[in-house]
């Protein structure tokens, strides 16, 4: 099991007031993302657990792109991966920010 | 949440959202508590934060209920140690704290093989807790219409419930199609023959044979309506119910014991064209089933 951990500074605090949200399922080609609003306004952390070892470069690129596009300040995202492709990962991360961005 | 959404295609969390009154669901041991399986890492398999089992409480048309939902897409909804303990705990709460109806959204292939003994024990504990809850007067309703069907220990849990609702996509069994084929040969049961699998284990056959009380449309609204009906009609678990069940099973064996195929059973029940049943739409089938085999509210 490979564990990856990324810390970023986001451009702004993520919108919304919900404390947490969960999207996706740990199924083949899919992943789950637990997003929690627990960090200072500009910080963002992404923790990944995946059984598919050796793709840290791709994860790093997808996460960096996600932080730049979605500005998930204040959010900690925890990922359990079921072997998702990078496009699926990007969609689930964006969906998590949308879900936690709803009114409380 | 659109109530016309397919139950089969929805996740466990979407099913709960569509089943219960809006925003009424409260979760116990939610994903943020990260009570994951400690066994999966040994096999280098990824965990899920809720271990594929979501338990909590909510209201259904204003009635307070306990709910448990299996996520059939995570490891085929298979029952591991944590997954099982969450359901056992909910059933004990139903008996000990307040006697509200319990809804179990079953979607499972049975015991999680990576957690073999812990999973088998969990099934036994769930059955014990379920029976104890029913003896205390708590209705326990099973809702079956997910991708994984309801097999192995899940089939045993279903058999312990007060009443079941099933959709066409739902399947109930103990040994699944592949298991039967592996042990008895492809001549006995061809697991690749989808039509055979569905007419032997699927929702329509289970309804006609008396294994499930209600046949429902594959939609969140269909299951919501069925659950609301069944919590009002659940039979008591007492000697009279069990004797009625024994008599019903004896009659069933006598009547259909010689049938080689589900279609023979349907023909014996009086279906004019048994071959047409698999392609009937929901309303047409419910009307036929109510005529051929009135729903029975004893145990299974």
The shortest C-alpha distance from B253 to chain A (Å) reads 40
Nearest residue in chain A measured CA to CA from B75: A27
The shortest C-alpha distance from B4 to chain A (Å) reads 21
Q: Where are the domains of chain A?
A: 2-100
> Could you tell me the two tokens for B246?
């024994």
pLDDT at A89 over 90: yes
Q: Is the dihedral of CA B269, B272, B278, B282 positive or negative?
A: negative
Low-confidence ranges of chain B (pLDDT < 50): 1
HSE on the CB side for B300, CA within 13 Å?
A: 23
pLDDT at A97 over 80: yes
Q: What is the pLDDT of residue A104?
A: 76
Q: Which residues in chain B are closer than 8 Å to A25, comparing Cβ atoms?
A: 11, 48, 71, 73-74
CB contact under 8 A, A80 and B48: yes
* Bridge partners of residue B90, in order along the sequence: none
Distance between CA atoms of residues B172 and B181, nearest Å? 16
CB contact under 8 A, A22 and B31: yes
Q: What is the pLDDT of residue B293?
A: 87
Distance between CA atoms of residues B169 and B190, nearest Å? 18
Residues 6+ apart with CB under 8 A from A32: A22, A23, A24, A25, A26, A79, A80, A92, B31, B48, B49
CB contact under 8 A, A80 and B13: no
Nearest residue in chain B measured CA to CA from A48: B46
Main-chain dihedrals φ then ψ at residue A17, nearest 5 degrees: -130, -5
Nearest to B212 by CA among B244, B167, B164, B171: B164
CA max distance for chain A: 38
Q: What is the CATH number of domain B12-235?
A: 3.90.226.10
The shortest C-alpha distance from B240 to chain A (Å) reads 44
Q: Where are the domains of chain B?
A: 12-235
The shortest C-alpha distance from B264 to chain A (Å) reads 38
Q: Which residues in chain B are closer than 8 Å to A81, comparing Cβ atoms?
A: 46
3-state secondary structure of A86: helix
Hey, what's the torsion of the CAs at B14, B18, B21, B25, to 10 degrees?
-20
As for the ipTM of the complex, it is: 0.95
CB contact under 8 A, B46 and A30: no
Nearest residue in chain B measured CA to CA from A77: B32
Nearest residue in chain B measured CA to CA from A23: B13
Distance between CA atoms of residues B283 and B289, nearest Å? 10
Distance between CA atoms of residues B67 and B141, nearest Å? 10
- From first CA to last CA, the distance across chain B in angstroms is 33
Average pLDDT of chain A is: 96
Sheet holding A31-37, edge to edge: A2-9, A43-50, A75-81, A31-37, A20-23
Span A29-34, mean pLDDT?
A: 98
Q: What is the pLDDT of residue B2?
A: 55
């Amino acid at each position: 099991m490979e564990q990856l951990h990324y810390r970023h500074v986001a451009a702004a605090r993520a919108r919304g007031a919900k404390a947490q949200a969960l999207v996706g399922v740990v199924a083949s080609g899919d992943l789950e993302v637990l997003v929690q609003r627990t960090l200072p306004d500009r910080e963002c952390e992404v923790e990944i657990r995946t059984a598919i070892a050796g793709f840290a470069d791709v994860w790093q690129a997808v996460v960096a792109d996600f932080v730049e596009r979605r500005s998930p300040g204040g959010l900690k995202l925890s990922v359990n991966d079921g072997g998702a492709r990078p496009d699926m990962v990007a969609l689930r991360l964006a969906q998590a920010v949308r879900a936690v961005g709803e009114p409380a | 949440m659109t109530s016309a959404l397919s139950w089969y295609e929805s996740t466990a969390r979407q099913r709960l959202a569509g089943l219960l009154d809006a925003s009424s669901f409260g979760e116990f041991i939610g994903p943020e508590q990260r009570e994951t399986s400690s066994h999966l890492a040994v096999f280098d398999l990824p965990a899920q934060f809720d271990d594929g089992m979501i338990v909590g409480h909510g209201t259904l048309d204003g009635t307070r209920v306990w709910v448990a939902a299996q996520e059939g897409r995570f490891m085929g909804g298979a029952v591991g140690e944590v997954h099982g303990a969450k359901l056992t705990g909910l059933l004990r709460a139903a008996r000990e704290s307040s006697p509200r109806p319990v809804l179990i959204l079953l979607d499972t292939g049975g015991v999680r093989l990576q957690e073999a003994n812990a999973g088998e024990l969990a099934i036994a504990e769930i059955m014990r807790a379920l029976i104890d809850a029913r003896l205390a007067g708590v209705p326990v309703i099973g809702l079956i219409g997910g991708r994984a069907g309801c097999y192995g220990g899940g089939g045993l849990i279903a058999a312990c419930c007060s009443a079941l609702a099933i959709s066409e996509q739902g399947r109930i069994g103990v040994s699944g199609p592949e298991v039967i084929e592996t042990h008895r040969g492809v001549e006995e049961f061809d697991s690749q023959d989808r039509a055979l699998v569905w007419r032997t284990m699927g929702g329509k056959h289970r309804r006609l044979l008396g294994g499930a009380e209600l046949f429902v449309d594959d939609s969140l609204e269909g299951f919501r309506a069925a659950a609301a009906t069944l919590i009002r009609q659940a039979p008591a678990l007492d000697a009279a119910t069990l004797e009625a069940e024994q008599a019903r099973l004896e009659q069933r064996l006598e009547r259909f014991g010689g049938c080689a195929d589900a279609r023979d059973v349907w023909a014996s029940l009086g279906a004019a064209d048994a071959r047409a049943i698999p392609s009937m739409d929901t309303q047409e089938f419910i009307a036929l089933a109510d005529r051929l085999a009135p729903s029975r509210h004893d145990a299974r």
